[in-house]
Amino acid sequence: MEIKKVGVVGCGFMGSGITQVCAQSGYQVVVSEISDELLNKGLTTIDYYLTRSVLKGKISQQDKDSALARIKGTTNTKDFSDCDLVIEVVPENIDLKKEVFVKVDKICPERTILASNTSCISIFELAKVTNRPGKVLGMHFLSPVPPSKLLEIVRSAATSDETLESGKKFGESLGKAVIVAKDVPPFIFNRLLMALEGTAIQMLEEGIATKEDIDKSMTLGLYHPIGPIALLDFNGIDVAYKVCQAMYEQTKDPQYAPSPLIKKMVETGRLGRKTGKGFYDYK
């Protein structure tokens, strides 16, 4: 199936990034939020990053204007009624995601593919609440979306071959390298990342090494662009906490339980770069 128009449910940091790359890749995009305030904030974020790209000479002013012209913001989910693909980008809460899938399933025509940006929730569980389980798959974009070169597609037991191929072609059209994971949360990327970050936090809690040395071991030893502790700050301590919570609630596996240190940091508002202080001080 040819995808021409894309819907994005959620215009936060991830949703705005997905909207931006879709618009820059030539797609008409409808992006929604629950309020005009949040919608305008997300659209302003897109404008800001496109402007930065113009100033850095990565794109022209005409490229920016054309991308913005392809984006329509809305607070009405009925505006997804003519989309070929709708990507859900709401917080990692399975009940909230199911609500979105039920609504969009009723609004969209049979041809529409429904995707979730989840990194830790079963795609089949989301597909079951729709009347089109064969047209549901996972599209896990990495943060930040525009510069990231990877897209992780998740195929559930119900996802059809046609839907999978359409998803792969769409991801490649965005300039992403596509990897395909089975529907076993937390899939490929997060399974590896959570192991690395979890071990780094454990080492920090046990006093085995400083955060600086833990990060240097990865940036200088394995040439990672950023260490696991600094990456937690970059993505948000609260985000890591929610992902761990969601994974633990689904699996009851102790390895995914949020660490006491992460929990304490969230409770005290030390969420990383967004608050000016996390494991590192950014003030």
> For the chain, how long is the longest CA-to-CA vector?
56
Confidence class for position 185, pLDDT limits 50, 70, 90: confident
CATH number at residue 147: 3.40.50.720
State how many domains the chain has: 2
Catalytic residue flag (residue 140): yes
Residue 88 included in any domain: yes
Residue 248 confidence (pLDDT): 84
- Check pLDDT > 80 for residue 257: yes
Q: Which of 131, 153, 182 is the last residue of a domain?
A: 182
pTM over 0.95: no
Residue 164 confidence (pLDDT): 98
Pair (214, 162) in one structural domain: no
Residue 164 included in any domain: yes
Pair (218, 267) in one structural domain: yes
From CA 121, how far away is CA 94, in angstroms rounded? 7
Active-site residue, from 33, 92, 125, 152: 152
Active-site residue, from 32, 53, 190, 235: 190
CATH number at residue 211: 1.10.1040.10
Residue 280 included in any domain: no
Mean pLDDT in the chain?
A: 94
Domain containing residue 195 = 189-273
End-to-end CA distance of the chain: 49
Pair (239, 177) in one structural domain: no
Active-site residue, from 140, 156, 197, 235: 140
For residues 202-215, give the mean pLDDT.
Answer: 96
Pair (34, 127) in one structural domain: yes
Pair (69, 173) in one structural domain: yes
Structure tokens at 29: 């995009």
Residue 126 included in any domain: yes
Confidence class for position 118, pLDDT limits 50, 70, 90: very high
Q: Which residues pair with 215 in a beta bridge?
A: none
Pair (134, 248) in one structural domain: no
Structure tokens at 275: 């608050």
Residue among 171, 40, 34 nearest 115 (CA):
171
Pair (155, 216) in one structural domain: no
Query: What CA–CA distances, in Å, run from 206 to 202, 213, 259?
Result: 6, 14, 12
From CA 255, how far away is CA 47, in angstroms rounded? 40
From CA 126, how far away is CA 140, in angstroms rounded? 14
Pair (143, 260) in one structural domain: no
Pair (153, 39) in one structural domain: yes
Q: Which carries the bigger pLDDT value, residue 2 or residue 280?
A: 280
Write the burial class of residue 65 (CB in 10 Å: 0-12 exposed, 13-18 middle, 19+ buried).
exposed
DSSP letter for each residue of 132-155: -GGGEEEEEEPSSTTT--EEEEEE
Residue 208 included in any domain: yes
Catalytic residue flag (residue 267): no
Q: Tell me the per-residue pLDDT of 49-100, one tens digit each, with 9 for 90 and over.
A: 999 999 999 999 999 999 999 999 999 999 999 999 999 999 888 999 999 9
Catalytic residue flag (residue 152): yes
Residue 264 included in any domain: yes
Residue 89 included in any domain: yes
In 3-state terms, what secondary structure has residue 179? strand
Query: What CA–CA distances, in Å, run from 180 to 39, 48, 127, 138, 154?
Result: 31, 32, 17, 9, 6
Pair (22, 122) in one structural domain: yes
Residue 282 included in any domain: no
Catalytic residue flag (residue 190): yes
Query: What CA–CA distances, in Å, run from 211 to 5, 220, 263, 279?
Result: 45, 14, 18, 8
Q: Which of 149, 167, 182 is the last residue of a domain?
A: 182
Pair (19, 159) in one structural domain: yes
- Stated length of the chain: 283
Pair (45, 134) in one structural domain: yes
Q: Which of 133, 158, 182 is the last residue of a domain?
A: 182
Active-site residue, from 116, 119, 156, 235: 119
